[in-house]
Amino acid sequence: MIPVFAKTKRLHQHLHIAGAADMPALLMIHGNASSSVFWKEIGQQLSANFFCIAPDLRGYGDTEDLLIDATLGFGDFVADILALLDHYGIKQCHIMGHSLGGGIIWPLLAAAPERFLSAILVNPASPYGFGGTKDVNGTPCFPDFAGSGGGIVNPEFARLIAAKDRSSENPQASPRVVMNSFYWKPPFVPHWEDELLESVLSEKIGPERYPGDYSPSENYPFVKPGNWGPINATSPKYLGDSVQEFISKTTHIPVLWMRGSDDLIVSDNSLFDFGTLGKLGYVPNYPGEAVYPSQPMLAQTRHVLEQRALKGGKYVEIVMADTGHSPFIEQPELFLAHLNDFLKQL
């Protein structure tokens, strides 16, 4: 894939592209603490059959440094992506999203269902966002959505990203250690580890960027979401009616949900969730599972897809064994085989 810039009506966006522009388009949306670089190898292989477009989202990579208004939920990302499709004159495309990028797909498809031919969700964030909910219906643990938003991020991890730390000296927060511990299943290490680390280090850092602002809460874990940045945008506080709109408006779009069997980030017992951390004794004053259980992220995703299936929406769930949060990097050949099987059936 080659790096280019596109000046859309929304922003000056950096992206990687591959393939001929007259082929079917495949839009590839990266996750948090990463960039379009994460798609480079798999995108190059897919370019034999698709015009692959992998943008750096607002706040990431080399895209123009504009703020993310988290009170819009994923609204800024959604508008930016649709503007990018307009820039290229793409009326319809396939879309693939990883982690946070998968979370963006839920409201994106609901906002413009006529623009998408299929959706591939790779270890996606729950349709109810990240943190602070306790059942398959996304019920908040507390009315103020405590446990979601910018305050749940390890500030030392953000500080080390800003410092462009490439070491492995901090076992809890060094970006390299976090990447190799959680982005894929150890002991796997990608052959292009250093390039992927540079991608992690490209995220924009600050109280209005990553990790974002937050406020104190009287409820466990004693922080509630703020108004700026990508992690506040993932708060269920700001997602509104997007889940029900996804269920009702997108039944014509086939969905492939593909995930690693050993994902520690997006799971029903995520090690990034304060319900899990409280149960394990890592966070004091845990109120117990009846009040603040681990967010059932996988169960929430499956429930939403099943509710959509009752209305005629088709989906396929594939669990890739012995992989973590990024199966397309860990086992690219098998990932491509599953993806091609899905696409052949469209």
pLDDT tops 90 at residue 237: yes
The string of pLDDT tens digits covering residues 170-198 is 999 999 999 999 999 999 999 999 999 99
Average pLDDT over residues 8-34: 98
Per-residue confidence (pLDDT) for residue 342, from 0 to 100: 98
pLDDT tops 90 at residue 117: yes
**Residue 187: exposed, middle, or buried by beta-carbon count in 10 A (0-12, 13-18, 19+)?**
exposed
* Structural contact between residues 259 and 324, judged by C-beta atoms closer than 8 angstroms: no
Average pLDDT over residues 317-340: 98
Query: What does CATH list as the number for 2-140+241-344?
Result: 3.40.50.1820
Average pLDDT over residues 205-222: 97
The string of pLDDT tens digits covering residues 246-299 is 999 999 999 999 999 999 999 999 999 999 999 999 999 999 999 999 999 999
Residue type, 74: F
The string of pLDDT tens digits covering residues 244-253 is 999 999 999 9
pLDDT tops 90 at residue 305: yes
Cα–Cα distance for residue pair 137/236, rounded to 1 Å: 11
CA of 57: how far to CAs of 26, 78, 110, 167, in Å?
Answer: 16, 10, 19, 26
Residue with structure tokens 């004794």?
Answer: 281
pLDDT above 90 covers what percent of the chain?
99
**Residue 112: exposed, middle, or buried by beta-carbon count in 10 A (0-12, 13-18, 19+)?**
middle
The string of pLDDT tens digits covering residues 129-151 is 999 999 999 999 999 999 999 99
Please report which confidence band the pLDDT of residue 18 belongs to, taking 50, 70 and 90 as the band edges.
very high
Domain ranges of the chain: 2-140+241-344
Tell me which H or E stretch contains 232.
helix 230-233
Average pLDDT over residues 88-99: 98
State the pTM of this model. Answer: 0.97
Per-residue confidence (pLDDT) for residue 241, from 0 to 100: 86
CA of 277: how far to CAs of 77, 229, 233, 286, 335, in Å?
Answer: 29, 23, 22, 9, 31
Average pLDDT, the chain: 98
Per-residue confidence (pLDDT) for residue 240, from 0 to 100: 84
pLDDT tops 90 at residue 10: yes
